[in-house]
A and B are shown apart, each in its own frame.
Chain A
Amino acid sequence: MAHDGSPVAPGAAPGASAHPTSATGRGLAVRDVVVHYRDDDGTVATAVDGLSLDVAPGEVVALLGPSGSGKSSLLRAIAGLEPVSAGTIAWDGADVAGTPVHRRGFGLMFQDGQLFAHRDVAGNVAYGLEMARVPVAERRARVGELLTLVGLDGFERRDVASLSGGERQRVALARSLAPRPRLLLLDEPLSALDRALRERLAGDVRAALTATGTTAVFVTHDHDEAFAVADRIAVMDLGRLLQVAAPAELWHRPASRRVAEFLGYEAFVGGSSRVGGLVGASSEALLALGPGSLRREADGPLVGTVRSTGFRRGVTELVVDVEGLGEVTVVEPSRADPAGVPGAGEAVRLGVDDDAVARVAG
């Protein structure tokens, strides 16, 4: 199985080799890109507003942001499906502006798969190979190989209408990987699936991407998905990038309060303020507290009132109004015996888990 990631995409620039050692100038370079979005009623909005991003060969970058943040527009612009109003998009240093979609050698996987209903599973996976005029025998072997990779052995002759949602997305993934795109763009590929399936498939997608050494940009609005799939995460909002960082760094060192809020942090301690045992890190930095940052301690320094309690997948969540901080969620393992869990209105004392407190860069 040729998992070397070398692109055979149709019309791809020859000499685009597989695993360059250095990231400089290689891979995808997005520079100051502006994308306008024209609505059906003729109004124009700026979806991407002067954004720059680099993706090294073999790297998987997640574009994380709330809906409407311009993630999909950026992805479509990279694919060539959306015109770029300003800025450049380059691959290995070569501007792709003049290259039409079908010659870019970039794959794109849609949220809802967009499988060809008039072709069976094998016909769908083979489509890109047919366009690249890959010989039949080789095509068949590659289709089998890809179906094995996505866990759909023997599905070749199945009608795509008979597939479940998860199976369809697996076929869509196999289809976009088949021609060995030099870059794979994934547009919320798991959003339409239910939670359990989404979590399992996120792992499978990561495995498939690393096994094939595919360079990928993965758009999602779900942090867990981004953390599960990506080498680096780019947080996007209102058409701009707020932060690009490895998952752990992003989680522990969010670049701004906006990023921290988007990641789910609930309360902030800033400057020199002193709340309980917590001291603001410095005059500029901010401490961010989220679910898991506080735990109940009989002699903890913080005092709060329980507002509500909830139960979620093996954990009990207490929303506590902490004096001087505001509402913070306290998470603890749930017990079969609910006695001992404070009810709404009860006062609790809390301690701080230092490792679970993020330091927001000024």
Chain B
Amino acid sequence: MTAVAAARSGVVAGRGGRLLGHAGWALAVAAPLAFLGVFFALPVGTLVLRGFVADGALDLTGFTEVFSRPRTWRIIGLTLAQATVGTAISVLLGLPGAHLLYRREFRGRGVVRALVVVPFVLPTVVVGVAFRSVLSDSGPLGALGWDGTFAGVVAALVFFNYSVVVRTVGAFWVQLDRRAEDAAAALGAPPWRVFTSVTLPALTPAIASAASIVFLFCATAFGVVLVLGGTRYGTVETEIWVQTAQFLDLRAAAVLSVVQLVVVAGALLAAGRARDRRERALQMTAPERASRPPRLALRGPGRRAGDIAAVAVTGAVGVLLLALPLATVAVRSLRTPTGWGLDNYANLATTGGRNALSVTVWEATLTSLRVALDATVIAVVVGGLVALVVSRRPRARARRRAVRLLDAVFMLPLGVSAVTVGFGFLVALHRPLGLDLDLRSSPLLIPIAQAVVATPLVVRTVLPVLRAVDSRLHEAAAVLGASPARVLATVDWPVAARSLGLALGLAFAVSLGEFGATSFLARPERPTLPVVIFRLIGRPGAENLGMALAASVVLGLLTATVMSLAERLRHGSSVEI
């Protein structure tokens, strides 16, 4: 029985159309499950097994050995510390931003809202390069001495996740019924008491939701930590890479992957709980009652001290944390050993000083675009199917539980580190399931790995839109004679299509910048742009650094262009993480 029909009727009729419907839904469930099974569960599972099993027998010596190393404990401690501090600062800085961008109206608010999202989609390698150029001794903030320190890494993590807090909390905040605050004020509470006694408690579910997701992103950060942390600072994620690529200790890497899975599962669990609470809290407020936010007033009778503080904090974040690193990369990409010029960009057609690369940067760019295109198609098809299935509300309780389970299963890759996926591909896809084929040489391998990483974002973009379709709209179509398939085509599709632009853009941007999985899988003769940038900054020579900066600008611009095109297509939908 189709889920649509189950959701609507529960009336079973053994007709041909029904049978076709069953087959369609079975396929819609099976295709993503198979994809995730082979390209996510299999690699990750193999990896986990490798940590526990040696020569066909349970063997935990790998664990005892890895955990007896002081280095392991230091890395775990660093991972948790970085994630905790990064999350706390992101939330503290993000709250004023959410207030300003979602609870106040001012000219240019739309532009600022769009700009704030940019860091989230920027490739990690680009951000790493940007923070390095700001914090290096010759950079504008070199005096801080943060280059290669804990503080530098945390600053970059906050850069990424600031927008997650602003958007998650802001989207919730805007729907809060402001009359509760009005009531508190009318009862004599001064503005700060209104905030601490009414607003903040009401926001807690959204803050918890944002914090757990930010913690997740911080704990699984890879590219930015690898670039900024140097040898002293790392996370479990970078350590897996170091153990694999430098020490060739696959056993230790597998053990660390298991550790990473535990951290991620914990954070995901917390995130899921917080999301449930947030959704429940939202059901209590009627969105149509939310009136227009007041205009921002910094002078005159309407001014509020809280607003002034929010503007100050958000302004400082915008200039120092968000704009400065990006501007520095752009400016320094124009600096050459002999002065200013476009030499670095001209060099993108070469393979770098002392042949640092095996291909030119432009060739790598082309590879990146091709790979991203393939990955986007895969991610949107798989993610679209998942969103469709998960958005159904079947009547039968068992089926409803199955839908919820499916939802959770497909969120796993969002948390499970890209490095684990990439590493898992290497380990598992050689003779997968005993079959005599080596998927590792397939040109589709990198697109598939990137699609695994991008799929949850596609789901989170399309799903809220599909869920927002009133089930009675389906019923209205059905009583007017629309078969379940035509209900999908005439009611759900026109609505979902509007969010597809954003989903496409996000998937494309994510694959363009994907570094964690790709760094394991990219073949030396066909590297992608982020891989090339990372290689360039690892090589000596001012020429190579200049090229890395120029390539970062190119990658950043590509990403920004894709996202702004997607924003144009999106018509008011947004990604809900």
Interface residues of A (CB under 8 A from B): 9-11, 38, 42, 79-83, 97-108, 110, 114, 116, 118, 127-128, 130-132, 175-176, 179, 181, 185
Contacts and interface: CB of A to CB of B under 8 A. Distances in A.
B11 A116 contact: no
Contacts of A79: 475, 479
B168 to A, nearest CB: 25
B486 A101 contact: no
Interface string B458-487: 000000000000101101111111111011
B397 A42 contact: yes
Interface string B1-22: 0000100111111110010000
Contacts of B397: 42
**Shortest 8 CB-CB contacts between residues of A and residues of B:** A131-B481, A128-B480, A83-B10, A10-B481, A108-B479, A101-B478, A114-B476, A118-B494
Contact of A81 (B13, B473, B475): B475
A132 B9 contact: no
A102 B475 contact: no
A105 B479 CA distance: 7
B381 interface: no
Contact of B472 (A11, A110, A131): A110
A99 B478 CA distance: 12
Interface in B380-399: 395, 397
B10 to A, nearest CB: 4
B494 A80 contact: no
Nearest to B497: A118
A80 B484 CA distance: 13
B11 A101 contact: yes
Contact of B9 (A100, A131, A175): A100
A100 B481 contact: no
B281 interface: no
Given A107-B480, A108-B475, A128-B481, A100 B13 contact: yes
Nearest to B477: A127
B382 to A, nearest CB: 25
A47 to B, nearest CB: 14
B490 interface: yes
Q: Interface centre among A102, A107, A118, by most B CB within 10 Å?
A: A102
B481 A179 contact: yes
Size bracket of the B interface: 20 to 34
B495 interface: yes
Nearest to A100: B13
A210 B480 CA distance: 20
Given A79-B479, A100-B5, 12 more contacts: A80-B11, A100-B18, A101-B475, A102-B486, A108-B476, A110-B472, A110-B475, A114-B473, A114-B475, A118-B494, A131-B477, A131-B480
B11 A127 contact: no
B78 interface: no
A176 B480 contact: yes
Contacts of B8: 81, 101
B491 interface: yes
Contact of B481 (A83, A110, A132): A132
Nearest to B479: A108
Contacts of B12: 98
Contacts of B478: 80-81, 100-102
A359 to B, nearest CB: 41
| B-side interface mostly | helix
Q: Interface centre among B9, B12, B472, B481, by most A CB within 10 Å?
A: B481
A29 to B, nearest CB: 17
Q: Interface centre among B5, B9, B476, B495, by most A CB within 10 Å?
A: B476
14 contacts: A80-B11, A81-B9, A81-B475, A83-B10, A97-B11, A98-B12, A99-B13, A100-B483, A101-B479, A106-B479, A116-B473, A127-B477, A127-B480, A131-B481
A81 B475 CA distance: 7
Contacts of A81: 8-9, 475, 478-479
Contacts of B18: 100
Contacts of A110: 472, 475-476
Contacts of B10: 82-83
A77 to B, nearest CB: 10
Contacts of A103: 481
Contact of A98 (B11, B483, B495): B11
Nearest to B7: A81
A105 B490 CA distance: 19
B13 to A, nearest CB: 5
Interface in B426-465: none
Nearest to B393: A40
B13 A131 contact: no
A322 B26 CA distance: 70
A127 B482 CA distance: 9
A112 to B, nearest CB: 8
B9 A127 contact: no
B198 to A, nearest CB: 28
A82 B480 CA distance: 16
A11 B13 contact: no
A114 B480 contact: no
Nearest to B495: A118
A106 B490 CA distance: 19
Nearest to A9: B481
Contacts of B484: 102
A128 B495 CA distance: 19
Nearest to B493: A118
Nearest to A111: B472
A83 B11 contact: yes
B491 A114 contact: no
Nearest to A126: B480
A110 B478 CA distance: 13
A116 B487 CA distance: 11
Contacts of A80: 9, 11, 478
Contacts of B11: 80, 83, 97-101
B475 A131 contact: no
A131 B479 contact: no
A18 B476 CA distance: 24
Nearest to B475: A81
B5 to A, nearest CB: 7
Interface string B257-271: 000000000000000
Q: Interface centre among B5, B11, B479, by most A CB within 10 Å?
A: B479
Nearest to A132: B481
A179 B480 contact: yes
B36 to A, nearest CB: 29
A42 B398 CA distance: 11
A131 B486 contact: yes
B287 to A, nearest CB: 15
A186 to B, nearest CB: 12
Contacts of B494: 118
A290 B13 CA distance: 50
Contacts of A83: 9-11, 395
A98 B472 CA distance: 21
A103 B470 CA distance: 21
B395 to A, nearest CB: 8
A200 B12 CA distance: 41
Nearest to B12: A98
A98 B481 contact: no
A105 B480 CA distance: 7
Nearest to A130: B490
Contacts of A42: 397
Contacts of A132: 481
B486 to A, nearest CB: 6
Nearest to B472: A114
Contacts of B5: 100
Contacts of B14: 98
Contacts of A179: 480-481
A130 B486 CA distance: 10
Nearest to A105: B481
B482 A131 contact: yes
A182 B62 CA distance: 73
